[in-house]
Amino acid sequence: MLLLALSPPVQAGVFDAISDLSKAISEGNAKADAKSDADFEEDTSKKFPPYRFEAPAASQSAQYVETVRGSNFKSIKKVGIVNFSVEFALFKEVSAMGGSQYQGGTARDSTKSMKIPQPEVARLQQMVDSLYARTAQDFASMGIEVVPFERLKATKHFAELAPAQHASPWLTDTKDSQSVFIAPSGMPLYMDNPNRADFLKGLGFTFGTNTRMKEIMMTYDLNQEVHLVSVNMVVDFAALKSSGSSFLSVASTRGANLHHLHASNTFYRFISTTQPELMVVKLKQPLVSDVRLIAETSTVKGQVSTQNFNATGMAVETTQKDAYNRGAGQFDQESYYRRSGDMLDASRQMFAEELRKLR
């Protein structure tokens, strides 16, 4: 009502002042968000220092690799690689909510997403094909016969894996990302790790195609003389974290640029005639690149406040929404290809080193 009584030039000045104030607040919030992410990235980098690419893998394998039931490896004479899957994360998002509008309070929400440019499938395929060939060579160098994939493919129970299998490349949602899965040329793949599956795919591990039982039955198709191996690796580009508190009216999301291989989700799983997890070799800590790659980060923060006027019984709701974006166009694709290949090969070398110790 006050603005209606002011002259047009004065009204314009008031609106300009409000606009300038809103812009200043938004810029301040954007800087605070960037600072929060930078602090989180620094803390994450201290917790997980980069892999030493200049040092031999053999000198680092004990630090990075864990074997479960490794004593079973001595009995393995032949292996068949039934599944070989490398996941490349492309998009990640987290959300948080906090506070409440109850009795004049404020509810807050925050969503942060990070993404990288779509990689060239041909470059990823070349990377995975090389990794597959070298993995087979590792087993052969230990005196283990590697059964050709064509022989595995010809078995009765391999055909029964079809409902779970996907042609490569396979673009899909996982538990915490949108990713592309790549298998060696000419091979299908299936998501072997329930920890990577979203809710619906997770149900499939329980009620859908029983891949573990089909794998065991395949070993009987192969005269009980071949142990199957499922190779799974995850290449990620970021770490995200969220927290919310209704009591403290806090909703926080934080993101860090962190090019790395997942711990635990990067593993070899060996299958016998009786056990779908005869033994497992896995990363026990993330294998982190020494090159910082800047992903595009988007943050949307909102808050809704309710003010009650007891005298009139009326309530006024105030809504505020802020959106920030940074890092667009800054991602170094060539460094991504180079270090992704280096990290995958480093994990392969360390797995081979620890397996040799078990022979």
In a domain, 237, yes or no: yes
Could you tell me if 165 and 183 are in contact, meaning their C-beta atoms sit under 8 angstroms apart? Answer: no
Rounded CA gap, 195 and 176, in Å? 10
User: Average pLDDT for residues 119-127, to the nearest whole number?
Assistant: 98
Instruction: State the pLDDT at residue 198.
Output: 56
Is 9 inside a domain boundary?
no
Place of tokens 């490398």: 86
In a 3-state reduction of DSSP, which class is residue 299? Answer: strand
**Lowest-pLDDT range of 4-18, 203-217, 240-254:** 4-18
CA atoms within 13 A on the CB side of 349: 14
Q: What does the pLDDT look like over 319-348, one tens digit per residue?
A: 888 999 999 999 999 999 999 999 999 999
Residue 247 lies in a domain: yes
What is the extent of the structural domain holding 150?
A: 16-357
Is residue 10, in this structure, part of any structural domain at all? no
For 229-241, the pLDDT digits (tens) are 999 999 999 999 9
Whether the predicted model's global pTM rises above the 0.85 cut: yes
The CA R_g of the chain, rounded to the nearest whole Å, is 26
- Tally the domains of the chain: 1
CA 170 – CA 190 distance, rounded (Å): 9
pLDDT level of residue 196 (50, 70, 90 thresholds): confident
123 in a structural domain: yes
In a domain, 81, yes or no: yes
**Mean pLDDT estimate for the chain:** 89
Residue 2 lies in a domain: no
Of 116, 115, 114, 98, nearest to 106 (Cα)? 98
pLDDT attached to residue 209: 64
Is 308 inside a domain boundary?
Answer: yes
